[in-house]
Chain A
Amino acid sequence: MAASSRAQVLRLYRALLRESQRFGGYNYRTYAIRRIRDAFRENKNIKDSEKIEELVNKAKANLDVIRRQV
């Protein structure tokens, strides 16, 4: 499935980090970057495609949240 391919996930990851850099507040900016890195690192070995899709959707939702505030 396209949404769960490795390339898609990496694209999402980079987009999240890029958008997070645009937070004006130091604490929000550093938290977003740290949390995103840690979350992707924690889930990097997940194999179950359903779980992957769930996580990808969550990441997309968070990306929208960040975009609305930066």
Chain B
Amino acid sequence: PRRLLTAAPPALVPSGRTGDGDGAPRPLYMDVQATTPLDPRVLDSMLPYLTAYYGNPHSRTHAYGWESEAAMEKARKQVADLIGADSREIIFTSGATESNNMAIKGVARFYKSRKKHIITTQTEHKCVLDSCRSLETEGFRITYLPVKKNGLIDLKELEAAFQPDTGLVSVMTVNNEIGVKQPIHDIGEICRERKVFFHTDAAQAIGKIPMDVNDMKIDLMSISGHKIYGPKGVGALYVRRRPRVRLEPLQSGGGQERGLRSGTVPTPLAVGLGAACEVAQQEMEYDHKRVSQLAERLVTKIMSEVPDVVMNGDREHRYPGCINLSFAYVEGESLLMALKDVALSSGSACTSASLEPSYVLRAIGTDEDLAHSSIRFGIGRFTTEEEVDYTVQKCIQHVKRLREMSPLWEMVQDGIDLKSIKWTQH
């Protein structure tokens, strides 16, 4: 059994070693905002549906279908319970990207005869921004609210942005790059007063901080499986029934998931998502306390040893497990490469191919050079104190080393104001 479950993909050297041939152990994983490992309890819940219980949950005529459907419905309830919703309000999707697309495009298109305006923020996930951009080509008007230097939106600006034909407001709960937590309660209140639907991308928040769709007056919520120690390839969309939110479906077909999302629901993945939600609910307090302690440890240690480090995003209104630090006078990519035995990222995974600094950092007003010097540290359920200490030690070591080599750092030490330098062309 052990060999089966820890089998490495064929191209790589057998278990525990990286493929680069130097026999080094695998890097420490400090990138939980990109994805999380499956919790063993989640894997356990999925196994039966990946082996013996493989029926299609929509098969009405035999036990294979019935048991698969029962498992799917149980999972649906587990997801609903985590957010204070009713099972009938949960639609399974392929992930938060699909949920975001469905929510934004679906609501916009359904109500388009009377509502042509949408409000969102500049720090949303790419899939939200891109969905909005595509709606612009369909004739919708979008307001992209700026954020303050701390990453939070200004509620007064939000109120001022409403127009008579605003149909939807979309603001993510916890940002995946800098970890800031938006004032969801207040936003929900504002939207409810004006009878405008409120959608939130809760992929990074759910299971980590308490979320209640009624308390927070949320009408639509996107959920991602692989951010909460569940499987990749599954997510959910919460769609309020009272007052009813209508959506034009994105995906046509056999009418599954209340006609909103046709396609066979992948039972093992749905079961995994449900189990992940249940485990998260049970472990939320314990995890939050630990993650907060480890985050405090990481930040305090780094900042006490190394000067000129900036934490991006509000210090207080945040989820502690997502820490984005800018190390002045150090180039982010070189620091990441130096920290080769720690898996980290600068900016989010979906934009890592481009050389541009993160739009989120630009939105909070980070200087161009500081934006290039940013690293995101992710602390999760399975992160150990030893991993944090090792990461901190290596980070401090390499920041100091890279700064020693930097002519800019030398100039700063000599008291030169870098902004006053007139750079000449060669």
State which of A22, A26, A28, A38 has its C-beta within 8 Å of the C-beta of B40. A28
Given known pairs A24-B6, A28-B382, the reply for A65 and B40 (CB within 8 Å) is yes
State which of B15, B382, B383 has its C-beta within 8 Å of the C-beta of A24. B15
Question: Is B40 a contact of A66 with CB atoms below 8 Å?
Answer: yes
Residues from chain A with a CB closer than 8 A to the CB of B15 are: 24
| Distance A69 CA – B47 CA, assembled complex (angstroms) | 11
Total number of A-B contacts with CB less than 8 angstroms? 40
Given known pairs A27-B29, A32-B40, A38-B286, the reply for A70 and B2 (CB within 8 Å) is yes
Question: Is A69 a contact of B381 with CB atoms below 8 Å?
Answer: no
Question: Is A31 a contact of B382 with CB atoms below 8 Å?
Answer: yes
Total count of chain A residues near the partner, CB < 8 A = 18
Nearest Cβ on chain B to A40's Cβ, whole angstroms: 13
What sequence of 0s and 1s flags, for each residue 21-46 of chain A, a beta carbon within 8 Å of any chain B beta carbon? 01111111011100100100000000
Nearest Cβ on chain B to A52's Cβ, whole angstroms: 18
Total count of chain B residues near the partner, CB < 8 A = 18
Residue among B15, B44, B47 facing the most chain A CB atoms (10 A cut-off): B44
Question: Is B41 a contact of A25 with CB atoms below 8 Å?
Answer: no
Q: Judge whether B1 is part of the interface by a CB distance below 8 angstroms.
A: yes
Q: Judge whether B43 is part of the interface by a CB distance below 8 angstroms.
A: yes
Q: Judge whether B384 is part of the interface by a CB distance below 8 angstroms.
A: yes
Q: Judge whether B183 is part of the interface by a CB distance below 8 angstroms.
A: no
What sequence of 0s and 1s flags, for each residue 53-82 of chain B, a beta carbon within 8 Å of any chain A beta carbon? 000000000000000000000000000000
Residues from chain A with a CB closer than 8 A to the CB of B47 are: 68
| Distance A68 CA – B2 CA, assembled complex (angstroms) | 9
